[in-house]
Amino acid sequence: MQVSDLITQQNTLNTELWAGEKVRPLIKSKLLEVANEFYEALDILKKAVVDITFTGSLANFNYTKVSDIDIHLIVDFAKIDNNKFLVGEYFKAMTRDWNRLHAITIKGYEIEIYVQDKDEPHYSTGVYSLLSDSWLDKPEQKNVEPDVNLINKKIEYYADIVDEAEELYDKKEYEAANNLSKKIMKKVKKFRQAGLEEEGEFSNENIVFKYLRNNKIIKSVIDVRNRSYDKLMSVNGDPEKLFKIYLDKGKASKTYNRLNELERYQRKVRRGHKRMKRRLIGYGGIKNSAPYSKKVSMKRAKSAPPGAGGS
């Protein structure tokens, strides 16, 4: 997914899901079925659901081939408990587990479920009520002029610090890796929220977030956070015996060692290669033609020269 894909607006709503300005009846029926299955499994939700909405880029003009169908259950948190924060944290955990365990698709687009307090502000300009079959906030075409240079700089910044977190994990500095990965996630969320509040879904900040999410960079930092936490909580939990050069009784020397630095550099190049290759050439729209029968592999060639991080 390239930045240009995220700032291009379509001329119409996605015709596979929409008939004019209405969700296609079969699509609406299936979305409501999925939402009902989710909240009926949680008894505490039944008395508190206010609406079920379809929102996000597929309810707008900025959808792409990797967009999700965002279904929001609008809930009156106060009917569940006075402590809205705890209620929100509970539903975040429930939806996170559901979205992780399920991969339900409609017309090739994956469904993502969220639970939202009825008083929580929503910054998307496309919000459609599936219960009333009508727009709550109708999307409009906008003149979008994002700062592409700024967006690319921010993407590089976040990609670099994610690499740093992965490197800390590789070096078995699990506490540092966990702290940094949590800091990154907090920073990314705050960064995106500021953009949404000031300029909406077409803000530079939200475009950066979408790029990081669609290109699996956010997934990488979440993986580091979870794996480093597991290591910290394990007793004698060090099953990975990585080969190290010049170790002194199991502890790496704190002084500079060229071989150690080279090994660290090679790991970093390997990690970043697939991500960079996909970013630069992996999302082109040109179809293959003879003599090429398939897309180029994103994997690093085994013949990479010494010192370049080959396999």
DSSP string, 30-79: HHHHHHHHHHHTSHHHHTTEEEEEEESGGGSS---TT--EEEEEEE-GGG
Q: How confident is the model at residue 180, as a pLDDT? A: 92
Torsion (CA) 227, 233, 237, 239 in degrees, nearest 10: 0
Q: Which pLDDT tens digit goes with each residue over 180-236?
A: 999 998 888 888 888 777 777 777 788 888 888 888 888 898 999 999 998 888 855
Q: How confident is the model at residue 66, as a pLDDT? A: 77
Alpha helices (runs of H) in the chain, residue ranges in sequence order: 3-7, 25-40, 43-46, 84-101, 148-170, 174-199, 204-214, 217-233, 258-277
Q: Mean pLDDT over residues 289-299, rounded?
A: 65
- 215, 1 contact by CB (below 8 A): yes
User: 91, 70, 71, 78: which is closest to 48 by C-alpha?
Assistant: 78
Q: Mean pLDDT over residues 12-36, rounded?
A: 94
Strand, coil or helix: 19 = strand
**Residue 250 confidence (pLDDT) above 80:** no
CA-CA distances (angstroms) from residue 197 to 5, 121, 200, 205? 22, 9, 6, 10
What residues have CB less than 8 Å from 235, skipping those under 6 apart?
A: none
Q: How confident is the model at residue 134, as a pLDDT? A: 95
Q: 6 or 246: which carries more pLDDT confidence? A: 6
Place 269 in a pLDDT band, splitting at 50, 70 and 90: low
Q: Which pLDDT tens digit goes with each residue over 34-84?
A: 999 988 888 788 789 999 999 988 998 888 887 889 999 999 999 988 888
